[in-house]
């Protein structure tokens, strides 16, 4: 039984998780997993932070919080479109979008990706990935800060600054830790994963998960693509080699 243990095997292995999860119905009825007790709005005295769309490529839609209790009313998003709690962002086919949550945290939505904003408090960030995949560029945060991404299969809590990819594929949630440390919470429990590892949650009702190492070439391709996107005029391609990325003390 595994509970709050780090996953360190080199080869793929099946992991049995111990209980710790809440199932939450959000908006259109999809079930999403978040850490027990954390889906509440938190301290009502805390005001939500403002976020914005920093970059938009292709057709990206946004549905506002006040619209989601009824039929979704989508509007086309553009650069500097404000984003707040309750909003849903959707990057359509061949589209990408970058969301600046603060001056420290950024999210890039890949094509055909849906992301909900659940909380943007000073010490609590909660998002929900319904479909597709996104990269989460997590900056410095305090020991009492909470940053979580919910999926239909499980939740991901970021524990350290780093670069993370979370995606849905055929009913599975796939979490890749390019750098940093994350805790993955499934229906039956939780486990830590560190840089260079990938964790697959096998469906919403599964009690098993698969942990393995990221292939260096695949990891290098993800990191290289992200930095080419984020810093198009400054990035020199150095992170095509994943080991060079891991060895860079700045990241």
Q: Convert the pLDDT of each residue in 3-32 to its tens digit.
A: 444 443 333 444 434 333 333 333 333 455
Burial label for 190, CB within 10 Å (0-12, 13-18, 19+), is: buried
What is the structure's pLDDT at 251?
57
| Cα angle value 127/196/149 (rounded, 5°) | 5
Helices (H), the chain: 216-230, 242-247
Cβ-Cβ contacts under 8 Å for 205 (sequence gap 6 or more): 187
Cβ atoms of 190 and 3 within 8 Å: the answer is: yes
Cα–Cα nearest to 208, from 6, 4, 14: 14
What is the structure's pLDDT at 17?
42
Alpha-carbon span 148 to 183, nearest angstrom: 9
Supply φ then ψ for residue 140, to 5 degrees: -60, 140
Alpha-carbon span 106 to 89, nearest angstrom: 14
Structure tokens at 221: 């391709």
Residues across the chain:
251
What is the structure's pLDDT at 13?
45
Cβ atoms of 93 and 111 within 8 Å: the answer is: yes
What is the structure's pLDDT at 40?
39
Alpha-carbon span 28 to 8, nearest angstrom: 37
Bridge partners for 251 per DSSP:
none
Alpha-carbon span 104 to 101, nearest angstrom: 7
What is the structure's pLDDT at 69?
59
| Tens of each residue's pLDDT in the chain, 251 residues | 334 444 433 334 444 343 333 333 333 334 555 554 444 344 444 555 779 999 999 999 999 866 555 667 789 999 999 999 999 999 999 999 999 998 789 999 999 999 999 999 888 999 999 999 999 999 988 888 999 999 999 999 999 999 999 999 988 999 999 999 999 987 667 789 999 999 998 876 555 678 899 999 999 999 999 999 999 888 888 898 898 888 886 65
Q: Convert the pLDDT of each residue in 100-137 to its tens digit.
A: 998 789 999 999 999 999 999 888 999 999 999 999 99
Domains of the chain: 6-214 (2.60.120.1440)
Supply φ then ψ for residue 245, to 5 degrees: -65, -45
Report in angstroms the alpha-carbon separations of 44 from 8, 26, 29, 47, 48.
40, 20, 25, 7, 10
């Amino acid at each position: 039984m595994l509970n709050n243990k780090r996953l360190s095997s080199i080869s793929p292995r099946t992991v049995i998780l111990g209980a710790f999860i809440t199932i939450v119905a959000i908006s259109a009825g999809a079930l999403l997993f978040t850490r027990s007790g954390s889906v509440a709005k938190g301290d009502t005295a805390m005001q939500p932070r403002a976020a914005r769309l920093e970059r938009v490529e292709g057709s990206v839609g946004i549905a506002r919080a006040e619209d989601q209790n009824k039929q979704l009313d989508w509007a086309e998003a553009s650069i500097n479109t404000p984003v707040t709690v309750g909003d849903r962002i959707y990057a359509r086919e061949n589209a990408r979008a970058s969301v600046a949550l603060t001056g420290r945290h950024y999210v890039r939505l890949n094509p055909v990706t849906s992301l909900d904003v659940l909380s943007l408090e000073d010490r609590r960030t909660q998002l929900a990935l319904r479909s597709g995949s996104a990269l989460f560029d997590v900056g410095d945060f305090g020991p009492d800060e909470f940053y979580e991404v919910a999926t239909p299969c499980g939740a991901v809590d970021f524990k350290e600054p780093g670069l993370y990819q979370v995606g849905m594929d055929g009913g599975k949630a796939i979490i890749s830790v390019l750098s940093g440390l994350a805790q993955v919470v499934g229906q039956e429990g939780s486990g830590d994963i560190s840089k260079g590892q990938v964790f697959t949650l096998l469906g919403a009702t599964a009690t098993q998960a698969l942990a393995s190492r990221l292939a260096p070439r695949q990891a290098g391709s993800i990191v290289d693509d992200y930095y080419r996107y984020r810093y198009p005029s400054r990035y020199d391609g150095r992170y095509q080699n994943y080991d060079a990325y891991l060895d860079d003390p700045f990241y």
